[in-house]
Structure 1
Amino acid sequence: RIFNVDDDAKYLNTPNTLLYDKSQALYGIDKAKMEIRKNDSCILVEGNVDCIMSHQSGIKNCLAVSGTALTPIHLGIIKRFSNNLVLAFDMDLAGNNATKKGIDMALKNGFNVKVIAMNSEKDPADIILSSGEDEWKKIIEKAKPIYQFYFDLAFKNRDIKSIDDQKKIVSELLPIFKKIDNTIEQTHWIQKLAEKLSIREDDIRQEMKRINLPRQEFEVLKEKKSKPRKELLEEAILSMILIEPSIIEKLTPEQKELFTFLQKENNDSYIIMKSELLKEEGIDIDDEWHKCVYEIENIYREEKRKKIMAEIKEKEKEGSFEEVKKLLLEFNKLTKKDDKN
């Protein structure tokens, strides 16, 4: 965070590392998750200092994106606790395409999005320091639904009797309204725009038809293809090893040899984040460990049996009957172990 008023930027962004990837991390999630669920609302700010100051002022359902754009991973984490998102970003209609893309992504994924009208020269931390905690709470209470925010912003400092200003307003709002999936909601805003500008609704619709939106593919969280059970179990085991490294010693030498995924370097930022979430949920590591190991061992044994059966068929075709005998012994050994389990 830069405090020198002569500097143009408020924050210096650090590069992503193996341990810290801003696109996957939400600052304050460990402290805010239960408050987000309790309030059924998440307040999202840009800077970590903004988040800290909000918590100190009593607004504890607050997270920070650490100066980066909103990502599908961020939304996936927040959606676990609430579908209501309140953004405290410095926004305008003309700029910050990354922020607008994040908002579009949130809307597509079923979030109710509101925006806190921010002064471009003051972020939440500045407001709390200069005007006090109560002022910040009042500003949050005045948060506007996203389309109302866009609507009011388009009319700000514009003369609705001026043809030029009317054209600017329409050109800013229609691409936004065209993205609205719900026909009733879209009609509401078109009618409101027509009424405000004293323009026929049909003319507004005709103008909207001319707009060609660029094709944008957003990750829809609820429609995301689920991972195979084996991969989920591997991730869970790796996460638990990060939490309690000594737990790996509970595996038998045979299990260590069987679980080939343990040989990979465990520095994936997603696994690191998942281990943090497991810690926060307060699960019984020993109990979860035994369940996961038991289930994944059965999956690995079944895969190994299928592989051996395929090899047996190949060796039979080749006439390598000694090899077939060895493979059958190995197959029977695996089957007996499964019977014991």
Structure 2
Amino acid sequence: MISRATIDSVFETARVEEVIGDFVQLKKSGSNFKGLSPFTDERSPSFMVSPVKQIWKDFSSGKGGNVVSFLMEHEHFTYPEAIRYLAKKYGIEIEETEQTSEQKESANERESMYLVTDFAKDYFHNTLLKTEEGKAIGLSYFKERGFTDETIKKFELGYSPDSWDAFTSHAIKKGYKLEFLEKTGLSIVKTDTSTGSATKMFDRFKGRVMFPIRSMSGRTLGFGGRILTSDKKAAKYLNSPESDIYHKSKVLYGIFHAKQSIAKEDNCYLVEGYTDVIQFHQTGIHNVVSSSGTALTPEQIRLVNRLTKNITVLFDGDAAGLRASLRGIDLILEQGMNVKICTFPEGEDPDSFSKKNSLEELTLYLEENSKDFITFKASLLAADAKNDPIKKAQTIHDMVASIAKIPDVIKREVYLRECSRIMDISEQVLFNSIAQLLRKDQKEAAKKEKKTQEPFEVVSSEKNKPKKVDVQFELEQKLIELLVLYGSMEQEFEEMVIDKNEKGELDFKAEVFESRVFEKIYLDLQDDEIEFTNPEFKNIYSEIINRYVENPEAKSENFVNQMAPEIAAGVTNILMEEERYVLHDWERMQIFVKEKEKTIAQVVSETILSLRRFLVAKKIDELSETMKNDQDFDKEAGLQEIVAYIGLKKLLSDKLNRVL
């Protein structure tokens, strides 16, 4: 177990904007930062980070919290894993007590799988560097590729022994369960169908050099293994199979080492293989990732989209491979990103070219040879078409189909004009063609939507009715908001008490007193024996009041780091609700929002009185309903009670009007 002192030290040291900045490209927005949501597919920023409050809020998915909750949501860390990650990032020594066997046993399946992949990464790396077989075969191969000791260590490259079960047997001896070795794909298990017990165990990556595949936060998700023999039956490259922690369509090789450089350079180089990434890094270009030999997917593109809007796709000189890869370009355009393409001389690929050139030469080559996608696609397809009118027409159709993928209307028009110039065809024809394509896409989308509807679904006018406002929910939420934002603030409250006037009639008399906001709310709710009906608000209210009682001057934003994650999430939603309007940049449009601090006492009094009046009205309705439906109910007593509540409601209404 990690000690409380370590956890406190982590929260005191970690900066939420720095940690999230490793995963999301953040831009300054007033006192906050904003960026694209890492949880949803969006093109307008709805993700806010508050350095002052040390919390974040994603308005598109509704998620929010502190620095630890971000890692738990984004990287699927457990609480202890998130604390360890932050401690490592900020160089904090972890103090912990020994785990019991029961605590070890309770580690969930995903944690166990991560433990296994981490163990495997270290095992393969040590085998490469410290065993005779590893040095003679694996290390020799990497050295031949030109990798330095520093590069091998940085990417934690490894070697799996050329033995049927060397790794599996070693892992089991070290206490790792065969179940998780199989689930991560590191081991292949043959079972007896009659008994269900394991009969044979094999190492999946037997006799291969190993490339650990890591998440954006650095967790080991799986492996790529390259065979070094000329066995034609075996695949040259072998990846870990899909598992609960490894989804190849959602992972980019090298993203962990590249993320900061991608954000800094505002560009990402996309290559095909592991060694392409490693050689670029070794040469000095770090903003490079690889799709690891798989076809590019929207999920992989969105990983880059969080860090930059610009992708430069690097291809080798193989013309056939180029055409196949153009499909990936359309996917990038669909995500609203800017695409450039750079090819290397025939017979060269990013790996070999970067090995032969210095950083200055490579940088210059990339700058001079990176073409806009439309220029590149036109030159590539036009070379095929030559003087054949039919092929030229097909080429233009291909280019227009790519431009149609671009969501931004202005960008689309610019590219169409460029296409018109390059292919010597009128702009009007191209605009008509793209309009036809867009209409076709809209029709297909409408058909798909229609298919998803129930066969005899009746569209009811009820659907168009506005949702009924839950008054009690809104008022309870408002009280929690006031507690969270202003609980420790001292205010001058005006209490309206009933007194006799000069004529001897009952009237209101104003009494002014000073109190902290939390004390006013707590005492008023206690007096009326009012309890929150919403379970989440009830938990937050209890937690906050207890903390204010312990320390009346406490800052509510500090509560978030000390609360249970589920309660902290609710508090974050309230703390960041006002930041939603910052996203719209009202002040730039000359719309100025009134500051709440100027009327806090009035808002507190108004909210409490409104809740009291609502509950009284609710009681009147309940009694009326009981009188109608319950034959045994004492109607005379019930009527007297209703009259008394009506009088109380009028009194509360009068008090509320005075406050307003």
TM-score range, shorter chain: 0.5 to 0.7
Task: Give 1:163 shift.
Answer: 2.0
Q: Which of the residues 297, 315, 324 maps onto 1:96? A: 324
Q: Which of the residues 152, 158, 162 maps onto 2:379? A: 152
Q: Is the 8 Å Cα contact of residues 313 and 341 (structure 2) preserved in structure 1?
A: yes
Task: Give 1:196 shift.
Answer: 3.9
Match of 1:41 in 2: 267
Residue 17 in 1 paired to residue 243 in 2? yes
Match of 1:186 in 2: 412
Relative to structure 1, is the Cα distance of residues 289 and 46 closer, same or farther in structure 2, using a 3 angstrom cutoff? farther
2:275 maps to amino acid: V
Q: Give the structure, 1 or 2, with the largest relative contact order (CA under 8 Å, sep 6 or more).
A: 1
Distance 2:334 2:360 in 1: 33
2:300 maps to amino acid: H
Q: Which of the residues 62, 66, 70 maps onto 2:288? A: 62
Task: Give 1:172 shift.
Answer: 2.3
1:50 maps to amino acid: D
Q: Is the 8 Å Cα contact of residues 45 and 64 (structure 1) preserved in structure 2?
A: yes
Q: Which of the residues 385, 407, 425 maps onto 1:199? A: 425
Match of 1:137 in 2: 363
Q: Is the 8 Å Cα contact of residues 177 and 190 (structure 1) preserved in structure 2?
A: yes
Distance 2:231 2:385 in 1: 31
1:30 maps to amino acid: F
Task: Give 1:127 shift.
Answer: 1.6
Relative to structure 1, is the Cα distance of residues 47 and 163 closer, same or farther in structure 2, using a 3 angstrom cutoff? same
Q: Which of the residues 306, 317, 327 maps onto 1:80? A: 306
Report the TM-score, using the length of structure 1 for normalisation. 0.53
Residue 295 in 1 paired to residue 567 in 2? yes
Match of 1:26 in 2: 252
Residue 170 in 1 paired to residue 396 in 2? yes
Q: Is the 8 Å Cα contact of residues 92 and 153 (structure 1) preserved in structure 2?
A: no
Report the TM-score, using the length of structure 2 for normalisation. 0.30
Q: Is the 8 Å Cα contact of residues 13 and 67 (structure 1) preserved in structure 2?
A: no
Aligned pair count reads 233
Q: Is the 8 Å Cα contact of residues 49 and 125 (structure 1) preserved in structure 2?
A: yes
Structure 2 alignment gaps of length 5 or more = 1-225, 447-558, 572-660
What RMSD in Å do the two structures reach over aligned CA positions?
4.4
SS at match of 1:88: strand
Distance 1:12 1:132 in 2: 31
1:84-126: per-residue Cα shift (whole Å, max 9, x none)? 22222468798437x62x4444333332222222457532112
Distance 1:156 1:216 in 2: 35
Relative to structure 1, is the Cα distance of residues 108 and 216 closer, same or farther in structure 2, using a 3 angstrom cutoff? farther
- Equivalences for residues 203-242 of structure 1 within 5 A: 203-208=429-434, 211=437, 212=440
Relative to structure 1, is the Cα distance of residues 140 and 197 closer, same or farther in structure 2, using a 3 angstrom cutoff? closer
Q: Is the 8 Å Cα contact of residues 384 and 391 (structure 2) preserved in structure 1?
A: no
Distance 1:145 1:107 in 2: 12
Distance 2:284 2:402 in 1: 34
Task: Give 1:175 shift.
Answer: 1.4
Task: Give 1:173 shift.
Answer: 1.5
Q: Which of the residues 110, 114, 117 maps onto 2:340? A: 114
Distance 1:197 1:71 in 2: 30
Distance 2:352 2:229 in 1: 13
2:255 maps to amino acid: I
SS at match of 1:116: strand
Task: Give 1:9 shift.
Answer: 8.2
2:377 maps to amino acid: Y
Task: Give 1:73 shift.
Answer: 3.5
Match of 2:576 in 1: none
Distance 1:128 1:116 in 2: 13
Structure 1 alignment gaps of length 5 or more = 218-286, 300-341
SS at match of 1:85: strand
2:270 maps to amino acid: L
Relative to structure 1, is the Cα distance of residues 5 and 60 closer, same or farther in structure 2, using a 3 angstrom cutoff? farther
Relative to structure 1, is the Cα distance of residues 188 and 31 closer, same or farther in structure 2, using a 3 angstrom cutoff? closer
Task: Give 1:66 shift.
Answer: 1.7
Distance 2:407 2:569 in 1: 46
1:158-208: per-residue Cα shift (whole Å, max 9, x none)? 42x442342232232221233334444434443444444443333444555
SS at match of 2:352: helix
1:117-161: per-residue Cα shift (whole Å, max 9, x none)? 2457532112223455555333322222222322222223542x4
Q: Which of the residues 271, 277, 281 maps onto 1:51? A: 277
Identity, % of aligned positions? 28
Distance 1:199 1:23 in 2: 39
Match of 2:149 in 1: none
Q: Is the 8 Å Cα contact of residues 93 and 154 (structure 1) preserved in structure 2?
A: no
Task: Give 1:39 shift.
Answer: 1.2
Distance 2:422 2:304 in 1: 36
Q: Is the 8 Å Cα contact of residues 124 and 136 (structure 1) preserved in structure 2?
A: no
1:145 maps to amino acid: D
Relative to structure 1, is the Cα distance of residues 146 and 20 closer, same or farther in structure 2, using a 3 angstrom cutoff? same
Q: Is the 8 Å Cα contact of residues 93 and 172 (structure 1) preserved in structure 2?
A: no
Distance 2:303 2:420 in 1: 39
Distance 2:560 2:285 in 1: 34
Distance 1:173 1:56 in 2: 36
Larger radius of gyration: 2
Relative to structure 1, is the Cα distance of residues 21 and 156 closer, same or farther in structure 2, using a 3 angstrom cutoff? same
Match of 2:631 in 1: none
1:146 maps to amino acid: F
1:49 maps to amino acid: T
Task: Write 1 or 2 for the structure with the bigger share of strand.
Answer: 2
1:18 maps to amino acid: D
Q: Is the 8 Å Cα contact of residues 378 and 422 (structure 2) preserved in structure 1?
A: no
Distance 2:343 2:408 in 1: 25
Distance 1:94 1:147 in 2: 14
Task: Give 1:52 shift.
Answer: 0.7
Q: Is the 8 Å Cα contact of residues 41 and 82 (structure 1) preserved in structure 2?
A: yes
Match of 2:515 in 1: none
Distance 1:294 1:188 in 2: 48
Q: Is the 8 Å Cα contact of residues 158 and 165 (structure 1) preserved in structure 2?
A: yes
